[in-house]
Amino acid sequence: MRILGIDPGYGITGFALLEAQRGGCQLLHCGAITTPPGADFSARLEIIYEDMRQLLTVAKPQVVAMEELFFGQNVTTGIGVAQSRGVILLAVRQAGLQIYSYKPAQVKQAVVGYGNATKHQVQDMTRRILRLEKLPKPDDAADAIAIALCHARSSTSLLARAQES
């Protein structure tokens, strides 16, 4: 299964393309969609939307996994990320792909085995699982890898297979 993991943002949106099979996962490509900080916000959303459409066309994923929003202290930033997530959801739906959303704790649980793991623990375990010499940069791309891994592990679990039957 070809999984596109997405870590949404309006300054940087991380993405990672994984090939997942029961025997393991292989990272095919990862990177980030970036927008200029000084640009009008609607222009930034347009860049994210257009780049996401192009990425979906080139990468040809079978499914998309994206992190759900977590509103911490900064609600204003959360609203901007929510808008970015909206244009990404639109691009994915227009491409006819199934999208799965995961809470940050679900990603941590799937990758590390502990829902309150630190960012460093998630990144280190991601590197180990995929047998990478070093974790890709920026951090948003590394986060997208963890999200794709979360879906790979969730979709191949016994419970997921039982629910499909």
pLDDT tens digits, residue range 6-52? 999 999 999 999 999 877 899 999 999 999 999 999 999 999 999 99
Q: Annotated catalytic, 140?
A: yes
pTM value is: 0.89
Strand partners of residue 66: 6, 101
Other CB atoms closer than 10 Å to residue 76's CB: what's the count?
7
- Mean pLDDT of all residues belonging to the chain: 89
Q: What does the alpha-carbon distance between residue 95 and residue 65 come to, in Å, rounded to a whole number?
A: 14
Give the model confidence (pLDDT) of 136-153 as tens digits.
Answer: 889 999 999 999 999 998
> 131's torsion region: left (phi>0), alpha (psi -120 to 50) or beta?
left
pLDDT at position 156 is 62
What stretches of the chain adopt beta strand conformation (E)?
2-7, 12-21, 24-34, 63-67, 98-102
Q: What does the alpha-carbon distance between residue 157 and residue 15 come to, in Å, rounded to a whole number?
A: 23
Q: What is the second-level CATH architecture of the domain 2-164?
A: 2-Layer Sandwich (3.30)
Which two three-digit tokens encode residue 9? 């943002």
Given a cut of 50, whether residue 68 has pLDDT beyond it is: yes
Length of the chain: 165
Q: What is the identity of the amino acid at 46? A: E
Q: Annotated catalytic, 139?
A: no
Which is the catalytic residue, given 19, 40, 139, 140? 140
pLDDT at position 89 is 96
Given a cut of 80, whether residue 99 has pLDDT beyond it is: yes
Other CB atoms closer than 10 Å to residue 61's CB: what's the count?
23
Given a cut of 80, whether residue 164 has pLDDT beyond it is: no
Which is the catalytic residue, given 67, 133, 139, 164? 67
Q: Annotated catalytic, 143?
A: no
